[in-house]
Amino acid sequence: MERVKTGIPGLDEMLGGGLLSQTANLVEGAPGTGKTTLGMQFIYHGIVACGEPGLILTFEEFPQQYYRDAASFGWDFRQMEREGKLRVVMSSPEVTKADLEQVGGRIERLVREIGAKRILVDSLSHFERISEEPVRLRGIVYGFVNSLKREGLTAVLTRENLALLGEAEGTDDAIAFLVDAYVLLRYVEIESAMRKALLVLKMRGSNHDKGIRQFGITSRGIEVRAPFEGREGIMSGSPRRMVDSFVQAFVRR
Amino acid sequence: MEERELDLAGRLMADMDPRLLEFLQAKITSFVKWDLINFFHDNPHTTDTADNISRYAGRNVETIRTELAELARDGVLEETQLGGMTVYSLASDRRIRELLEQFVEASDDRQFRVKAIYHIIRGTR
């Protein structure tokens, strides 16, 4: 199976070598967890290390924001655009949906023009503007995801999760069924400090690391590190030391 | 008075690149159009509705709608129907794109901006 490397140290190993080619991969997390950084790193790595041009489709941020954010990691997205290896497209979900549904639309032309192989869609949450009705929304996202695959793109789709810690209320998991891989980014409070956790919740058609890993955003981008050790309840956002749980369960009886 | 103003305008524009002057006089007749020119220069791959562009630009949608239609009429933008929506994108004409690029570059210069502002104010009277 052809693998598409994200270039994120630690993540590709968790994914069994990388994402699967021409798949849609959801990255979900609270604001500031690093969803967009992860997506930009995926695009950057594709261009510089794999010779795979990329598209960034943004429904909120202006392209300048991506240029600035990328520059802080030493990634010159402006130059990549000039060289025809990258296109940053700002649009709205409703127009993008209509554009992809027609033959020879603008996005289709851009994909062919630069030979794009990768796409970052930032973020899928904006599709909720088209419909709040879950069944219709699922149908819309299903059509959108399939249109990206039709263009031969491997996609990273970000989605916002408003819960800073613990489970988000009202998370629409219908979307999670439509994607091929599902990566969760979470804040974790440990000893009065915020750390970040990454979990590959699902990867269709491939084995993957089920561990919950620590990760950080460095000057070179995201780095996935060792698993949290001696802790449980990581995804609750407030983990306990396993030794405390043991004492509570067996010693203080 | 009128004559003196025309004379001042003439002198202000005299040293301007004739192609840029023509672009300015023919296409950029309002500050909202100038905003839109800058927006499409920075977002050359954007295709969107007047409603969404007004949100991006932080302007009133009715004003934006009129100005977008005029820019499309003047060949700076392309107006197309997409899934029942009227959408706007930057014209694919290479000459227009080059002019737009030159205009935005020239706008970095304060002297040029002052002249362009004067021209627009005169045009809107």
- Which residue of B35, B42, B47, B54 is the best one to mutate when testing the A interface, meaning the one whose CB has the most A CBs within 10 A? B47
Q: Do B96 and B104 meet the contact criterion of CB atoms below 8 Å apart?
A: no
Determine the average pLDDT of the residues in B53-64: 92
Q: What is the mean pLDDT of residues A54-75?
A: 95
Which of these ranges, A76-80, A125-129, A246-250, has the smallest mean pLDDT? A246-250
Q: Residue B38's pLDDT is what?
A: 93
Question: In this structure, what is the dihedral angle of CA atoms A233, A235, A237, A240, given to the nearest 10 degrees?
Answer: 10
pLDDT bucket at B119, cuts 50 / 70 / 90: confident
Tell whether the model's pLDDT for residue A168 goes beyond 60: no
Name which of B43, B49, B87 is nearest A63 (Cβ-Cβ): B43
The count of CB pairs under 8 A between chains A and B is: 48
B46: closest CA of chain A, how far (Å):
5
Cβ distance A92 to B52 less than 8 Å, yes or no, reads yes
Residues of chain A with C-beta less than 8 angstroms from the C-beta of B84: 98
- In whole angstroms, give the CA distance from residue A141 to residue A137: 6
Question: Does the pLDDT at position B61 exceed 90?
Answer: yes
Residue A96 makes CB contacts below 8 A (sequence gap 6+) with A57, A59, A107, A144
Contact B42 A88 (CB under 8 A): no
- ipTM value for the complex: 0.78
Q: Which two tokens stand for residue B31?
A: 């500050």
pLDDT digits (tens, 9 = 90+) for B6-45: 555 556 666 778 888 888 888 898 999 999 999 999 999 9
- pLDDT mean over A215-232: 89
Query: Nearest CB to A98: which of B46, B56, B83?
Result: B83
Give the pLDDT score at B79.
Answer: 97
Mean pLDDT rounded to a whole number for chain A: 90
Confidence of residue A249 (pLDDT cuts 50, 70, 90): low
CB contact under 8 A, B83 and A89: no
In A, which residues are within 8 Å of B56 by CB distance? 62, 90
B1 pLDDT exceeds 60?
A: no
Q: What is the pLDDT of residue B14?
A: 66
Beta-carbon separation of A106 and B47 below 8 A: yes
* Beta carbons within 8 Å of A77's beta carbon, 6+ residues apart: A40, A44, A66, A67, A70, A71, A86, A88
Domains of chain A: 3-251 (3.40.50.300)
Which one of A78, A81, A82, A94 would you mutate to disrupt binding with B, by most B Cβ within 10 Å of its Cβ? A94
Chain A residues touching residue B42 (CB < 8 angstroms): 62-64
A55 to each of A74, A121, B84, how far by Cα in Å? 19, 8, 26
Task: List, in order of start, the domains of chain B with CATH numbers.
Answer: 2-124 (1.10.10.10)
Q: Which residue has the higher pLDDT, A53 or A137?
A: A53
Distance between A41 CA and the closest CA of chain B, angstroms:
21
The pLDDT value given to residue A178: 92
A90 to B46: CB separation less than 8 angstroms, yes or no: yes
At A71, the pLDDT band (50, 70, 90 cuts) reads very high
CA distance B31 to chain A (A): 21
On average, the pLDDT of chain B sits at 87
